[in-house]
Amino acid sequence: MDLFSIPKSQKPLGVKDAFCNLKIQETFTRGSDKAEMGDNYMITLPDYSAKEKARAKYHAATTLNDKIDAVKELKKAFIHENKISENLINENFKEALKELRLNFAELNEDWNLPNRLHNKTHWQATTYPTVYGRLDWDKPSGTITSGYMCSGRGRFTHPKEARTLTPREAARLQGFPDSYDWKPEDYRAPFATDLAQWIGDAVPMPLGYVAAYSALGNGLDFK
């Protein structure tokens, strides 16, 4: 190996590699009693809004009927919110269902959420296609930020399940070992917002290692 070189990997690691041996049998709603027990704070999820639930359900659905049901739920959530003209909502979701029925095979393979299922400002077009997006099992994760618990902040929806990422999953994508202790000095369970910032604002550990390796040369034991 040449001095100051970085070993080339066989291929980029994907989300599946980060989650391969991670078995989450149960998740807990943030703020619940169980969420405060032990290390359960690492497998907590927000109390999702109706719109968030519908979008996550759409991503997890694999049949046309299930995706149609999710779109209809999202439409109801927009109407219940009462912030947009119901006529506009009806028109938008009529087109959304039409496009879904015509292009189901293509949309079922798409890791992005159709524009018409975003918020109103994105219904016609968006320059942020990853917003509300679902992670691809076989590709590297995009940048993890402190917004990983909200699908509207980036591509943070689980590849298979109808939810966003848990802190444990986000930490793994950032390269943190499961043994990393996130508790403050008083050993209480950290607040969800603090935990999200610590994980999302961190420099990914493997990136830090590579940067150090590049600076110091092959004197490091690269793994």
**Mind listing the pLDDT tens digit for each residue in 46-100?**
999 999 999 999 999 999 999 999 999 999 999 999 999 999 999 999 999 999 9
167-218 pLDDT, tens digit each: 999 999 999 999 999 988 887 888 889 999 999 998 887 777 777 777 776 6
Q: Dihedral of CA 150/141/72/85: which sign?
A: positive
Determine the number of helices (DSSP H) and then strands (DSSP E) in the chain: 8, 2
20-50 pLDDT, tens digit each: 888 777 888 988 888 878 888 999 999 999 9
Conformational region of residue 82, where left means phi above 0, alpha means psi within -120 to 50, and beta covers everything else: left
124-141 pLDDT, tens digit each: 877 777 789 999 999 999
Which pLDDT belongs to residue 1? 39
Torsion of CA 209, 214, 218, 222, to 10 degrees: 20
Is pLDDT above 70 for 221?
A: no
Q: How far, CA to CA in Å, does 18 sit from each of 12, 21, 179, 220?
A: 11, 8, 15, 23
Is pLDDT above 80 for 159?
A: yes
Q: Domain coordinates of the chain in residue numbers? A: 15-207
Which pLDDT belongs to residue 83? 93
Query: At 28, is the secondary structure helix, strand, or coil?
Result: strand
Distant-in-sequence, close-in-space partners of 21: CB < 8 Å, separation ≥ 6? none
29: β partners: 45
Whole-number Å distance between alpha carbons of 41 and 193: 11
Q: How far, CA to CA in Å, does 97 sit from each of 10, 55, 116, 125?
A: 42, 14, 9, 17
Which pLDDT belongs to residue 36? 79
Is pLDDT above 90 for 163?
A: yes
Q: What is the pTM of this model?
A: 0.85
44: β partners: 28
Residue at 44: amino acid letter: T
Is pLDDT above 90 for 105?
A: yes
Is pLDDT above 70 for 7?
A: no
The total of other beta-carbon atoms located within 10 Å of residue 198's CB is: 17
What percent of the chain stands above pLDDT 70?
A: 92
Whole-number Å distance between alpha carbons of 203 and 216: 18
Distant-in-sequence, close-in-space partners of 196: CB < 8 Å, separation ≥ 6? 146, 147, 148, 149, 167, 170
Which pLDDT belongs to residue 8? 61
Written as one string, the DSSP assignment of 195-219 is: HHHHHHTSPPHHHHHHHHHHHH-TT
Q: Cα 192 from chain centroid?
A: 16
